[in-house]
Amino acid sequence: MAVNHDNCPCMDSCPLNHALALIGGKWKMQILCSLYNNGPTRYNQLKKTLDGVSNTVLANALRELEEDGLVERQEYLEVPVRVEYRITEPCQRLIPILDELGNWSMEL
């Protein structure tokens, strides 16, 4: 495949660059994998599955993933309030791509 240098894949306008920006960053992949594998998960339960993540980093990553449409935050009006996080339908479509990417890396 020839590269068109007018629209180089490393440029900001590159769709691949945008995709990697959405899932890149500290702990995002681990969060998505945990939510995919465990289903809807409460914050403290998610934190326990991610050994070593701080509250600040986890909260920021969840907020970014939610803003980007990959994670959904569901608040239940109970006493005390219960909040669960789950992956969205666009993230469900992303999982097989990530799985293939992982398979590719194992072949190197």
Closest CA to 53 of 78, 28, 35: 28
Of 2-6, 15-19, 42-46, where does mean pLDDT reach its minimum? 2-6
Beta 41-42 vs 71-76: how paired, if at all?
Answer: unpaired
| Domain spans, the chain | 25-106
At residue 13, the 3 state secondary structure works out as coil
Q: What is the CATH number of domain 25-106?
A: 1.10.10.10
**DSSP code of 69?**
T
Per-residue pLDDT at 7 exceeds 80: no
The number of angstroms, rounded, from the C-alpha of 62 to the middle of its chain's C-alpha atoms is 8
pLDDT at 49: 96
Q: What does pTM read for this prediction?
A: 0.85
Task: Judge contact between 68 and 80, C-beta under 8 A.
Answer: no
